[in-house]
């Protein structure tokens, strides 16, 4: 689950930002936890490093967002920090605290969704993985896939193409990176360019494996290990 903190003294703006976050998460099918703080002092007192992202208003009473950001960085140098402000000129100061972006109030959903998509590309999703889902930042979208729904992963150029019943999803990455993120007991390579979900294998004939009706080629160097992985998977599924 993605943990987000919203630090905003204007309750109406805080509610709007939270609504945008939850709407985006609902549309893109991933879980999110949103904690709202109406002042920076309380936020810092209760700060938890379980947050992956912080939306920080700049103009606040008691302790403004910029000073709060400096104190935050003393505790956590990795959390993604986004300033929310009514004045663009404040945003340039964000470089001092390694802010990832800024959003100008009032926050419209289309602008928020565009920026949020980019911000999610900075999240270390593997650190959040439950072992059940794979988060994919594609060229122009953000999706959450269950490994069970992935039929196979194919290398095309510098991209991995995730083939599912619901369509194909391209991601700029090496096959090894995809392999590490998927369950080793249910995924195996049939050649250097294809990673197959063994649960979707219909049959193996000669140098071909049939996955959800598609014929894929098995390479000679990979055939023995692939067939052994398929047998282990079948035996495990039967227990």
In a domain, 129, yes or no: no
Task: Determine the pLDDT at residue 26.
Answer: 86
Last residue of a domain, one of 88, 103, 123: 123
- For the record, the structure tokens of 150 come out as 């992935």
Task: Determine the pLDDT at residue 125.
Answer: 62
The answer to whether residues 119 and 142 belong to one domain is no
In a domain, 201, yes or no: yes
In a domain, 174, yes or no: yes
pLDDT digits (tens, 9 = 90+) for 15-74: 999 999 999 988 887 778 899 999 999 999 988 777 899 999 988 888 987 888 889 888
Q: CB count, 10 Å around CB of 121?
A: 10
Count of H helices and E strands in the chain? 7, 15
Domain tally, the chain: 2
The answer to whether residues 7 and 118 belong to one domain is yes
The answer to whether residues 220 and 150 belong to one domain is yes
- Torsion, Cα of 229, 230, 236, 239 (10° steps): -150
The answer to whether residues 116 and 167 belong to one domain is no
Looking only at the bridges linking them, the beta strands covering 142-145 and 134-137 are: antiparallel
In a domain, 148, yes or no: yes
In a domain, 128, yes or no: no
- For the record, the structure tokens of 56 come out as 């920080």
The answer to whether residues 94 and 11 belong to one domain is yes
Last residue of a domain, one of 123, 153, 177: 123
Q: What does pTM read for this prediction?
A: 0.57
pLDDT band at 239 (very low <50, low <70, confident <90, very high): very low
What percent of the chain is modeled with pLDDT above 70? 87
The answer to whether residues 103 and 140 belong to one domain is no
Domain range holding 150?
A: 134-238
Closest CA to 82 of 58, 64, 114, 63: 58
Distance of CA 173 to the CA centre of its chain: 14
């Amino acid at each position: 689950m993605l943990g987000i903190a919203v630090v905003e003294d204007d309750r109406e703006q805080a509610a709007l930002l939270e609504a945008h976050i939850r709407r985006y998460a609902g549309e893109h099918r991933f879980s999110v936890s949103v904690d709202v703080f109406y002042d920076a002092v309380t936020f810092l007192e209760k700060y938890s490093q379980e947050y992956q992202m912080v939306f920080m208003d700049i103009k606040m009473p008691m302790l403004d967002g910029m000073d709060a950001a400096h104190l935050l960085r003393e505790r956590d140098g990795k959390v993604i920090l986004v300033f929310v402000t009514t004045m663009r000129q404040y945003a340039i100061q964000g470089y001092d605290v390694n802010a990832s972006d800024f959003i100008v109030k009032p926050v419209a959903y289309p602008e928020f969704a565009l920026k949020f998509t980019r911000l999610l590309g900075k999240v270390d999703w593997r650190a959040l993985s439950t072992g059940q889902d794979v988060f994919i930042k594609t060229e122009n979208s953000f999706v959450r896939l269950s490994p069970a729904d992935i039929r196979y992963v194919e290398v095309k150029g510098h991209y991995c193409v995730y083939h599912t019943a619901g369509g194909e999803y391209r991601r700029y990455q090496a096959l090894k990176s995809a392999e590490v993120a998927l369950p080793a007991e249910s995924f195996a390579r049939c050649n250097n360019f294809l990673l197959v979900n063994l649960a979707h294998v219909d049959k193996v004939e000669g140098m071909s494996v049939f996955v959800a009706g598609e014929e894929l080629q098995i390479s000679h160097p990979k055939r023995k290990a692939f067939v052994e992985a398929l047998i282990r998977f079948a035996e495990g599924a039967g227990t």
